[in-house]
Amino acid sequence: MGDPGPTGRFGDFGGRFVPESLVPACLELEVAFRQAWADPAFHAELDRILADYGGRPTPITECGRLSDELGLRLFLKREDLAHTGSHKLNNVIGQALLARRMGKGRLIAETGAGQHGVATATAAALFGLECVVYMGEVDIGRQALNVFRMELLGAEVRAVTSGSRTLKDAVNDALRDWVASVDGTHYCLGSVMGPHPYPWMVREFQRVVGDEAREQFRARTDGADPDVVVACAGGGSNAAGTFAGFADFTDSVLVGVEAEGGAALTVGIPGVLHGMRSALMQDESGQILEAESISAGLDYPGIGPEHAHLAAVGRARYVTAGDAEVVEAFQRLGRTEGILPALESAHALAWVFRAAATGELPQGSTVLVTLSGRGDKDVGQVRDILRAVEGRGS
């Protein structure tokens, strides 16, 4: 998982499919990132902020009770313990530092679950930048707590009322804003998607998750690597950051778990959306289909182009988890380990639980799951789901 070069291609995927007015901004960002990433002073400042402010390194936790139940050795990489409650801050601090280097005083972002919006609002407050977050109306409804968090942090949340009123439409509106405001605005994109250099740059900002996890895992297991490394994938940033620590350094099997209703790599076909060529859910005439998932962060009909490439060359495999088993996984981790995961992260766990039960994960396997975020934001939604299920049962 290296540098895709100036074209931003990962095999047949990636690229920079943007209106002409955005090409200079993408090129400026690529140059700024290349210079910063080669600059030890940039790394020193990023690492210092991620440590002193962000709470890195996050630990890995071996799940004793769950491991016994499953017949595995299960470890979690605890991004839920990072400041703001998910991996999203790693990318946002990097991009906010770049915005400052480029002299841009305004950050815009799209958000689904609200975690990327919260992280962007947080970085904007930390660096004294203006912040506007685009969020679909449906997601505003199911992630109300995060909307209020963003407002408390001084950001303006703009409701997106077009299309399916979820993440895909929020990206459209953020791109539209960027076209109109490009001189003073940096688009702080939240995942390994969009036009080059975002998929590569965001993966590099998230690489810290995989690099830490590999070293921490080896320290616990006399230098061994996990048999299987699992992460959920919406746009794919926590998975890409995790996989970057293992793909070229270990023989670990890499598994990305998409939402059943947002399974770009299972049912998708190649196409162009949001500035990238990748696997997309679309109909025969190329219309993008609406994703549908209880998890706002995985409710996206595409996936980052590097994942499409990793799937095509067989270095990673991609599977799905359905809403009902995800809610069960959410509860099971809480009851057995005292950790409430984000619904997004619960997809990764749901697949592990199923694969352990069916024998797809052999007894005694060592499994590392990236727990991309904490479940506080989802408690109200899960309560409503469980009440509805109880109501149907009585």
Ligand X SMILES: Cc1ncc(COP(=O)(O)O)c(C=O)c1O
Closest approach, Cβ 318 to ligand X, in A, equals: 12
Q: How far apart are CA 158 and CA 97, in angstroms?
A: 24
| Tokens representing residue 143 in the block | 């992630």
Q: How far apart are CA 327 and CA 346, in angstroms?
A: 8
**Residue 63: active-site member:** yes
**Residue 116: active-site member:** no
Closest approach, Cβ 27 to ligand X, in A, equals: 24
172-201 in b/e form (b: 16+ CB < 10 A) is bbbbebbeeebeebbbbbbbbbbbbbbbbb
For ligand X, give the closer residue by CB, 332 or 374: 374
For ligand X, give the closer residue by CB, 342 or 367: 342
Catalytic residue (one of 26, 43, 63, 307): 63
Q: How far apart are CA 316 and CA 84, in angstroms?
A: 29
Q: How far apart are CA 33 and CA 135, in angstroms?
A: 26
Q: At what angle do helices 323-337 and 379-393 cross, to 10 degrees?
A: 110
For ligand X, give the closer residue by CB, 30 or 80: 80
Written as one letter, the residue type at 64 is G
For ligand X, give the closer residue by CB, 121 or 233: 233
| Tokens representing residue 335 in the block | 């009851």
For 47, list phi and psi in degrees, rounded to 5: -65, -40
Closest approach, Cβ 206 to ligand X, in A, equals: 8
Of 232, 227, 285, 236, the C-alpha closest to 260 is 232
Closest approach, Cβ 333 to ligand X, in A, equals: 14
Closest approach, Cβ 224 to ligand X, in A, equals: 26
Q: In what order do the strands lie in the sheet with 253-259?
A: 60-62, 73-78, 366-371, 228-232, 253-259, 316-321
Q: How far apart are CA 139 and CA 112, in angstroms?
A: 6
Catalytic residue (one of 26, 43, 83, 87): 87
**DSSP label of 332:** H
For ligand X, give the closer residue by CB, 4 or 194: 194
| Residues near ligand X (CB under 6 A) | 86, 112-113, 115-116, 191, 232-238, 297-298, 342, 344-345, 372-373
For ligand X, give the closer residue by CB, 277 or 307: 307
Catalytic residues: 63, 87
